[in-house]
Amino acid sequence: MGLPVVSGGSSAACRIAHGLADIVEQISAGGGEIEPYLRRYLPEHVAECGDWSLLDAVELVDRLDPLVVAMEAWRAELGVRGQLPDAVVVTGVAHAELSAHADDSEARQLTRALTSARMGIENPTLTSPQLAWARPIRVTSDLTIASHTVRVSGVAFGSLPGGRVVLASGGSDQTVRLWDPVTGQAVGDPLVGHTSVVTGVAFGTLPGGRVVLASSSWDETVRLWDPVTGQAVGDPLVGHSSVVTGVAFGTLPGGRVVLASSSSDQTVRLWDPVTSLPAGDPFIGHTGGVSGVVFGTLSDGRVVLASSSWDPTVRLWDPATGQAVGDPLNGHRNGVSGVVFGTLSDGRVVLASSSWDATVRLWDPAVGLPVGVPLTGHTGSVTAVAFGTLSDGRTVLASSSDDRTVRLWRIDSLGKPALIRVLDLSPSVPQALCLAGSLLIVGCEDSLVALTPIEWSPERGANDEY
């Protein structure tokens, strides 16, 4: 006998749950690979909505994480708290993160403390001495953009001819949209053409100065757009055999502009954005779906391409030859969700990766080694990372998580991180990030918001209370 259908879910929660369930059914029907986010979190969305009939089909449930399905059903039957001890409830909610820290008692203690705080559970046995400086600040967005009807999966800043800065976003409603990041007003009509979720967006400048916008999608294609006219540029770029998870523009030695795409088919591909044709063979080496891709220029001038994967590694490539650069970067204990390059105040280039193991790691891409220890504190999968540089030259790193928070870190010239503050975006779940100066754009499951929270005194550090 199935659980009863509960009618208490909000319309927004049910819209998200129904939309994501439809996506899983579409992918399953086509024999595709289910994105790890959906395997882990669709049951939670269904529980929040209360419409358990969404999981009535065995074929759909079979594609989801069985532990999470059981846990969310258990929570729905007993209530969030029920008659169970607080420690049991918190352990059930944060089981994945606790498992990831099986050998670290302090990390488990902090995970339980942060989970308790997020759930409003006040229990002196579920605290951590680290929670005093890691306490989330409830924030109100400076600007909420009425954007996509479901999840915002990708965001990026770009400059149009004439210098106007615009914001691009892609979402589960299968569209790409342009916005004025200052006013939140739409710039033109939605860019329509994809037939499934848009996973990523990126701006690029072609030889001659023409600006184009690229988008990736679960429909296994990449599309190019003219952000000035809103028209498609050429035909869709076809070649991947599964979900395309991200796109990035880069410039090779000699000035040639290329577009990179990552896919759940375990490959990275390069494209010529002028001709819309493949630029060489696929980059092969990952043993799991590739979740993201980004170009970077090292301190010695070398251009490299970094890719993140559910296998769970980060790889570096020479985009001119398609050959791997060094060995895979190993360290994460669960799938790597994203990767981004950043430049420290002394000019040193570092690479940051986010992971479903609830951590962020820093790497030295010049030697392929980790920098320092993992950045910990999130109690859910880390969904995205983004570097930014403030007007005084300080480098900051933002990380978003399914724990409904965004963490802001200061990265010094040695690559040493210091937690600045934790932003609580509840009930929204942040999925995508981009930074420009002190303006932080967060793509969430139900909105696109702009925040200017990066205000701290230079002498304030991780042990200060906020």
**Residues 164 and 276 grouped into a single domain:** yes
What is the domain-level CATH number for residue 163? 2.130.10.10
**Residues 175 and 123 grouped into a single domain:** no
**Residues 77 and 204 grouped into a single domain:** no
**Residues 182 and 300 grouped into a single domain:** yes
Q: What's the angle, vertex CA 403, arms to CA 3 and CA 459, rounded to 5?
A: 165
453 domain residue, yes or no: no
User: How does pLDDT run across 429-452, given as a tens digit for each residue?
Assistant: 889 998 887 788 888 877 777 776
User: How does pLDDT run across 275-324, given as a tens digit for each residue?
Assistant: 999 999 999 999 999 999 999 999 889 999 999 999 999 999 999 999 99
- Residues of the domain holding 238: 157-330
3-state SS, one letter per residue, for 306-352: EEEECCCCEEEEECCCCEECCCCECCCCCCEEEEEEEECCCCCEEEE
**Residues 72 and 164 grouped into a single domain:** no
168 domain residue, yes or no: yes
Cα 321 to the chain's mean position, in Å?
Answer: 28
118 domain residue, yes or no: yes
Residue 413's pLDDT band, with cuts at 50, 70 and 90, is low
**Residues 176 and 122 grouped into a single domain:** no
354 domain residue, yes or no: no
Residue 406 near residue 431, CB atoms below 8 Å: no
**Residues 190 and 226 grouped into a single domain:** yes
User: How does pLDDT run across 3-46, given as a tens digit for each residue?
Assistant: 333 334 456 567 777 777 777 777 777 776 777 777 777 887 78
> How many angstroms separate the CA atoms of 420 and 410, rounded?
6
Domain boundary among 101, 135, 169: 135
Domain boundary among 291, 307, 330: 330
Q: Is the pLDDT of residue 242 over 90?
A: yes
User: Strand runs (DSSP E) across 57-205, as ranges?
Assistant: 137-138, 143-145, 152-159, 165-171, 175-179, 191-192, 198-205
Q: Taking the C-alpha atoms of 145, 147, 153 and 159 in order, what is their torsion angle to the nearest 10 degrees?
A: -70
321 domain residue, yes or no: yes
341 domain residue, yes or no: no
**Residues 47 and 163 grouped into a single domain:** no
Domain boundary among 330, 345, 369: 330
Beta bridge partners, 157, equal 167
Mean pLDDT in residue range 133-158: 65
pTM of the model: 0.75
**Residues 192 and 226 grouped into a single domain:** yes
* Number of structural domains the chain divides into: 2
> How many angstroms separate the CA atoms of 217 and 346, rounded?
37
358 domain residue, yes or no: no
**Residues 163 and 272 grouped into a single domain:** yes
**Residues 227 and 319 grouped into a single domain:** yes
**Residues 89 and 182 grouped into a single domain:** no
375 domain residue, yes or no: no
